[in-house]
Amino acid sequence: MEIGGVKISGKAALAPMASVADRAYRLICKEQGAGYLVSEMISAKGLCYGDRKTEELCTVDDRERPYALQIFGEESAYCGRAAGLLMKYKPDILDINMGCPVPKIAGNGAGSALMKDVERAYGIVKAAVENSDVPVTVKIRAGWDEEHINAPEFAAAMESAGAAAVAVHGRTKTQMYRGKADWDIIKQVREKVKIPVIGNGDITTPEEAVLMYRQTNCDLVMIGRGSYGNPWIFRDVESFIANGAVPASPSLEERLAVMLKQAEYAVSFKGERIAMKEARRTCAFYLRGIKNAAAYRSRCGTLQSLADLEKLAEEILHNEN
């Protein structure tokens, strides 16, 4: 699969997820076989105003390539300027978020709110394409609500504005992350446009990834929440597609080693105080399903240092092996 000439060799991509898919987690998923990665959302307006925190999200780590930087915004002028500013970070692809359903994004006219205003969305994509040296893609949802499902027509408009690919989450904005993703919408988008289509929503196993490929004819599947605490899903998808077999589940030792590695990456990127505060949630994902998981997850909520996590991992290995 290629996006505007950028080759994607893997069979599954990691979905962009604010406060979850940071650089540490993206690297872990890449090491486990994720074929394509996208940054957390970057505010186009914040970038234009030189916000320091916004700029920190723009770092491109060569280990993550092929890699996209994702912006959000409701004004074409800011999005176009932001696209130009991002070129100095040398992303492989520039993605525009038109699918985020959270109130602080959609409520300000960005994210999924743009699906209610095709003309404005068209202008944003056109401005970004004109200012970008790399392919521009768009991430969308099925529509705003059940009465306004317009992903196929919307995707076609983005294609005409110059988008090189479109990623489709099969839920509406009002669904948020509830209910079931409608894969038929992804299929309809695939039939409507000539550019690559990335399917997203409700993939938690390699079997479901293959099913999405078959049912939608999409060009790439994208996995979000199904990867929480299970970055091995990317390895499993690759294996299942290649030879119809899924590798053995990671041992407790491997699970804890990868959990620690993600925390170590985060500490190196963000510093121990911030990284370990965030690890209280991310590490708990790795402990789901093991014996006495509830007690160990509770312990995660008190993590202060990397040494605390190392001690917890040692205790789990000692108690559960």
* Closest-CA residue to 2 (of 142, 196, 152): 196
d(CA 92, CA 205): 28
User: How far is the CA of 141 from the CAs of 35, 97, 127, 209, in angstroms?
Assistant: 22, 10, 21, 18
Tokens coding 177: 């992350």
Confidence of residue 259 (pLDDT cuts 50, 70, 90): very high
Among residues 76, 86, 177, which one has the least CA distance to residue 135? 86
Residues with Cβ within 8 Å of 145's Cβ and at least 6 positions away in sequence, in order, are 172, 173, 174
- What structural domains does the chain harbor? 2-243 (3.20.20.70), 252-320 (1.10.1200.80)
What are 139-149's pLDDT values in tens digits? 999 999 999 99
Lowest-pLDDT choice from 14-28, 180-194, 202-216: 14-28
From 100, 218, 283, 300, active-site residue: 100
pLDDT score of 54 = 78
CB 64 within 8 A of CB 37: yes
Residue 51 has a pLDDT of: 79
pLDDT of residue 220: 98
Is-contact 69 91, C-beta < 8 A? yes
Tell me the percentage of the chain whose pLDDT exceeds 90: 90
Using CB atoms within 10 A of its CB, is residue 62 exposed (0-12), middle (13-18) or buried (19+)?
Answer: exposed
pLDDT band per the 50, 70, 90 thresholds, residue 188: very high
CA atoms within 13 A on the CB side of 141: 28
Counting beta carbons within 10 angstroms of the beta carbon of residue 104, is it exposed (0 to 12), middle (13 to 18) or buried (19 or more)? exposed
- The average confidence (pLDDT) of the chain is 95
Cα–Cα distance for residue pair 303/321, rounded to 1 Å: 23
Per-residue model confidence (pLDDT) at position 276: 95
Q: Is 283 a catalytic residue?
A: no
